[in-house]
Amino acid sequence: MALSLELITRTARSLLIQYGLQDVSMRRLAKELDVAPGALYYHVPSKQELLRTVAHEILTPLRTESGDALQLMLRFRELVLPLRDVGDLLLLAYALDASLPPAQLLPERLVTAGWPRDEARDTTAVVMRFALGAVATEQNQALLERPATATATATGQAPDAPQAMEAERIYLHGLQRLLIRPV
């Protein structure tokens, strides 16, 4: 198969989910694709651009998401939370590109709900920072607790489901607070 941006992006996403963000390097990606590292730079100018592209690819389903602002942000969490290290990836990608989905959709959802355009823009920035931080924190907590969860499962104990439910409750509470327009 010919080397392309799509193949590079898919492979980088696979490495991210399988090994984590720290192990996604241009050298490892080139090895996985059986090409010289320099060949990657023909399609993608930098690792940062690669990570931004992977983030856009992961978030593509949100581009067609219907519903209001709250539903959009709940779908965002549902989409990215199960993918290893994607919270950290999205923090980096958002710093490079504030138009990541759902950020480019959220202002219009807020305007449709009666928000003035300037408030909708500013609220989008706050909501994105909250959502990205919340997802990254939840993923990192789960990653750090994985050994304890594995031990509990091996000894017949139930994993810590209350912590996941609490994180979901806090995320919903935060979104509701942020998305209620002050009168």
155, pLDDT greater than 70: no
Q: CA 182 to CA 180: how far, in whole Å?
A: 6
Q: Which amino acid is at 75?
A: R
Do 72 and 3 meet the contact criterion of CB atoms below 8 Å apart?
no
Q: Which amino acid is at 134?
A: A
150, pLDDT greater than 90: no
What mean pLDDT is predicted for residues 60-66? Answer: 94
pLDDT per residue as tens digits for the range 131-140: 999 999 999 9
Q: CA 113 to CA 115: how far, in whole Å?
A: 6
User: How much is the pLDDT for 144?
Assistant: 86
Give the CA distances from residue 127 to residues 8, 15, 34, in Å, rounded to whole numbers and listed in that order: 31, 29, 41
97, pLDDT greater than 90: yes
**Of 20, 18, 19, 42, whose CA–CA distance to 30 is shortest?**
42
The backbone torsions φ and ψ at residue 68, rounded to the nearest 5 degrees and listed phi first, read: -80, -175
pLDDT per residue as tens digits for the range 16-46: 999 999 999 999 999 999 999 999 999 999 9
What mean pLDDT is predicted for residues 167-173? Answer: 95
Q: What distance, in Å, lies between the first and last C-alpha atoms of the chain?
A: 57
The backbone torsions φ and ψ at residue 20, rounded to the nearest 5 degrees and listed phi first, read: 100, 160
Structure tokens at 89: 């990836």
Q: CA 116 to CA 138: how far, in whole Å?
A: 32
Structure tokens at 103: 């950020």
Q: Domains, the chain, ranges and CATH?
A: 1-45 (1.10.10.60), 63-179 (1.10.357.10)
